Amino acid sequence: MGLIEIASILLLVLFFFLAGGLWISLALLVTGIAGMLAVRSSWPPDQLLSTLDWSGNILATTIWGETASYTLAALPMFIWMGEILFRTKLSEEMFRGLAPWLNRIPGRLMHVNVLASGLFGSVSGSSAATCATVGKIALPELKKRGYDEKVALGSLAGAGTLGILIPPSIMMVVYAVAADVSIIQLFLAGFIPGMLVMALYSGYIALWAVANPDKQPPSEPKMSFREKLSESMNLVPCLLLIALVFVVLIFGWASATECAAWGVLGSLTIAWWQGSLTWQSFWQSVMGATRVNAMIMLILAGAWFMSKSMALTQIPNALALWVDGLGLSPFALMGALLVMYILLGTALDGISMIVLTTAVVLPMVQKAGYDLVWFGIFVVLIVEMAEVTPPVGFNLFVLQTMSGKDSNTVAVAALPFFFLLVLAAIIITIFPQIVMFLPQLAFPPS
C-alpha cells in the first residue's frame, strides 16, 4: 500500500472519530496509533516492542518533550490576561472614548465595533473574548440609538476576530509552537495585516452607510473639543496596557513569555484600579484560564503525537512531493489551501485546524518558497474566517446568545465580513511584504 493511500485511510479514520463525537485530542491520538500500525509491519520485529508499548513510549516522550517548553508558557498567561480583562469595564470605557470622534464619518458609531475590537483584541488575544466584551456594551448602545441591527451584528462578528490577528494572539502562540517559528516575529507580522482588516471593515461600513442613508439614525449631539478629549481619557488604561506589552517586546527588553507575564500584571492593575478586582473575579479568571488552557494543551498533545506518527510514516514528504508533482504555481497552491481551510473551518475550531494540518501542509508551503512566518498570518486570517462560518463559528455562537437572534440571521449578517477576510488573504498573498515588513525590519535577513 502506498503512502498516499495510507494518508487517505488515516484521514477517513480521523473524520470517522470526529464525526462520532470523540474528543479532538483523542481522535488525533487514535489516528496517530493507526499511522504507526500502518508502517509497523515493514520494520524488523526483533528491534521493536509491541506496537502499543512502542507507541505509548513515543506518546510519553513526545508530550513531555513538547510541553516542557519555555515558549509555550506564554499561552496560559495570555489566556489569563484575556480572562481578567473580560471581567473589567474596559470595553465600556473604550466605547465612550472612541464614540465622540466618529460622528462625522459615514456609519458613525458602527465603527466603534471595529476600533474597540482592535484595541481590546490587542490585549486579550482571544476572538470570543473580544466579541463578547465589545458586544456586551456595543449591541445595546447601537440598538438604543437606532442603528441597523444586521450590520451591527455582522460588524461585531467580523471585528471580534481581530482578537486573534492583532498580537498578542493565542492562535499565533499555538502556530508558532506547532511550526517552530519565532513568536516575536509572528507577533510583529500581525500588526499591518490587522490594520488592513480594520480598514477593510471600516471601509465597508462607510460604503454601506452612504448607500443606505435612510437606515442611519439622527446625528449625535455635537461635543466640544474639550469634551471629546475628556471622554478620550477612558482609552488611557487600554493604551497603557498595549504600550506596556509591546514596548518591552519590540525593544527586546523581555521575551514573548515575559511580555505575557507583564500583560497579566497590567490587566490585574487595571482591574484593581477600576474596582472590579475582587477575590471572586480573580478566582473566576484563574479557573476560566485553566479550563481553556487545559483544552488547548490536550488538543496540542494529540496533535504532537499525530505529527510524530506522520513523520515516521513519511506521509508529509510524500504529500509534498505529490502536490509538487501536480505542477501548481505558488499562487495556485495558496488558493487550494485557502479553499481547504475554509472547508475545515465549517467543522473545526481554529486551534484544531492549525494543529491538525501543520505536519502535512508546512513541507508543501516551504517547498513553494513561502516564509513560515508569512504563512502563519495567512493561516490566522483563515482561522478568522472559521470564527464567522457556520456551523461551529464561535463568534456566531456568542452573538446568537447575546442578541437572541437565530444562528442563520447572525451568519448572514457576518457574510460580507467573511468575504472581506478572503480579500485580505488574497491581498497578503499578492503583496507578502505587508506581512514581512516589520519582522524583516526588526530581524534583518542575514
DSSP for 410-445, written as a single string: HHHHHHHHHHHHHHHHHHHHH-THHHHHHHHHHS--
Reading the block at residue 340, the C-alpha cell is 481547504
pLDDT for the residue numbered 393? 67
Q: What is the dihedral of CA 94, 96, 98, 101, to 10 degrees?
A: -170
What's residue 71's pLDDT? Answer: 63
Q: What would the mean pLDDT of 368-395 be, rounded to a whole number?
A: 84
According to the model, what pLDDT value does residue 117 have?
A: 82
Say if residue 149's pLDDT is above 80: yes
Mean pLDDT of 81-99: 74
> For residue 429, what pLDDT band results from cuts at 50, 70 and 90?
very high
* Between 63 and 423, residue with greater pLDDT: 423
Please say if the pLDDT value at position 47 is more than 50. Answer: no
Average pLDDT, the chain: 79
At 194 the pLDDT is 92
Q: How much of the chain, in percent, has pLDDT values that exceed 90? A: 13
Q: What tens digit of pLDDT does each residue of 322-375 get?
A: 666 677 788 888 888 888 888 777 666 677 778 777 777 888 888 888 999 999
Listed residue (283, 311, 392) closest to 345, CA to CA: 392
Residue 94 has pLDDT above 60, yes or no: yes
Is the separation of the CB atoms in 381 and 353 below 8 Å? no
- Describe the crossing of helices 372-387 and 170-179 by its angle, rounded to 10 degrees: 140
Q: Write down the pLDDT at residue 206.
A: 92
Cα torsion for 238, 241, 245, 251, to the nearest 10°? Answer: 100
Secondary structure of residue 14 in the 3-state scheme: helix
Instruction: Compute how many other C-beta atoms are within 10 angstroms of the C-beta atom of residue 206.
Output: 16
Question: What is the average per-residue pLDDT within 66-80?
Answer: 72
> pLDDT tens digit string along 193-247?
999 999 999 999 999 998 888 877 777 677 777 887 888 887 788 788 877 777 7
Q: Give per-residue pLDDT as tens, 9-27.
A: 777 887 788 777 777 778 8
Q: What average pLDDT does range 60-82 have in this prediction? A: 72
- Would the pLDDT of 410 be above 60? yes
Cα first-last separation, the chain: 44
Q: Which residue has the higher pLDDT, 306 or 366?
A: 366
User: Is the confidence at residue 51, as pLDDT, over 60?
Assistant: no
Residue 424 pLDDT grade (very low, low, confident, very high; cuts 50, 70, 90) = very high
Task: Sketch the domain layout of the chain as residue ranges.
Answer: 61-446
pLDDT value at 90 more than 60? yes
pLDDT at residue 323, as a whole number: 63
Q: What's the average model confidence in pLDDT over 287-309? A: 76
- Top pLDDT among 113 and 378 is at 378
Looking at mean pLDDT, say which of 257-266, 313-322, 349-358 comes out highest.
Answer: 257-266
Least confidently predicted of 39-43, 281-285, 344-348:
39-43
